[in-house]
Amino acid sequence: MKGFDIGQEVETTVVQVSSDTVFIDLGLKSEGFVDKSEFIDADGNCTVKEGDKIKVYFVSSNRDELHFTTRLKGENADNSVLESAYNSGLPVEGHVEKEIKGGFEVKIGTARAFCPYSQMGYKNRLEPAEYVGRSMTFVITEFKNEGKNIIVSNRRVEENAETEKVNALSEKLTVGSVVTGEVKSIQSYGAFIDLNGFQALLPVSEISHARVDDVSKVLSVGQKIEAKIIRAEWNTSKPERSKVSLSMKELEKDPWDEVSSIEIGEKFTGKIARIAAFGLFVNIKPGIDGLVHVSLLRDVNDKTNLNKKFKVGDTMEVIVQKIDSDEKRISLAPAAASDEQEDDASEYLKKQNKADDGDTYNPFAALLKK
């Protein structure tokens, strides 16, 4: 039977998960197993299932049973075992005893180790005092003087775990994939969505076809959402630099597909969605804005500051003048200006009618009557 050295790393597959044991495939007649407790998360759920690929380390053998672990338990570790763990990179479990100059004193079995401040924690680092009293996983980065000088790192363990997670996610989360995630935090520029432990960005412009000015009015922390991956830049060597962007808008029907229902001359009461130097964008339907050009605005010239005269959110009555479906553009005119033009034409006709009552024939007035 093939033998294993203590601390030897093995990449294998889960073949069965029982009530207290995870059995692994060694390609041998003998059985390999890991204590199930090593795969239980904070919520009490087992994080592995049959068929999952895992990385483990050999601990001991008892007849035909081979015991493996994802980390070495400190209470069973003597100096020879710790030296083997150092040489093989085997993670060890240690207890943070106290804060000392430059870092922490960590107890691993009967040995005392030192963990520098810079090597404690990784992404969501805590205040130093919050680590004291915790049992955590470390790797031994230095083993000298027969175990009298041991330096350990928790950061390296967490970095390795993050790298493995990103490697696995990069194969599943690809551009075009539709995913379900949970809103973890809300920012002015969008929201961060948790995708199985990785946070992707949902930009404010990708939440909906309708304009979103305040993310907190349409999303809330803890909310489950469905979105499409529109960008995936995975950095497997430096996972913290990986970037994934999502879009809920991509899963919505494009409002412009229904633009044929809008008619030239149709009147709308809309709200100013955006103010530009050349005019006002007015929302007339969810996801559809039209432009009122500055030249059509009353009491406005090239020196007028539109931001002082108008405000986003102000209501405005407009009339559709032109529709360009291909370019997704709609030209609007203030309804008040159109009404005034009609009133002026009517008033002119009235005056011409009065003049017509006399003996003088006015061919232009007659034409207007017709």
Amino acid identity of residue 334, one-letter, is P
CA dist 198 and 240 (Å) reads 10
219 neighbors 240 (Cβ within 8 angstroms): no
Range among 53-67, 120-134, 157-171, 291-305 rated most confident:
120-134
The verdict on residue 364 lying in a domain is no
The enclosing domain of 15 has a CATH number of 2.40.50.140
User: For the segment 237-285, what is each residue's pLDDT rounded down to a tens digit?
Assistant: 788 789 999 999 999 888 887 787 888 999 998 899 889 889 999 998 8
Count: domains in the chain: 4
Q: Which of 47, 69, 91 corresponds to the end of one domain? A: 69
- As to burial, measured by CB atoms within 10 angstroms (0-12 exposed, 13-18 middle, 19+ buried), residue 120 is buried
Residue 25 sits in the same domain as residue 56: yes
Closest alpha carbon to 123 in 174, 73, 165, 171 = 165
Range of the domain at 247: 173-251
User: For the segment 342-362, what is each residue's pLDDT rounded down to a tens digit?
Assistant: 554 445 445 555 555 555 555
The verdict on residue 272 lying in a domain is yes
The verdict on residue 216 lying in a domain is yes
Average pLDDT estimate for 23-51? 85
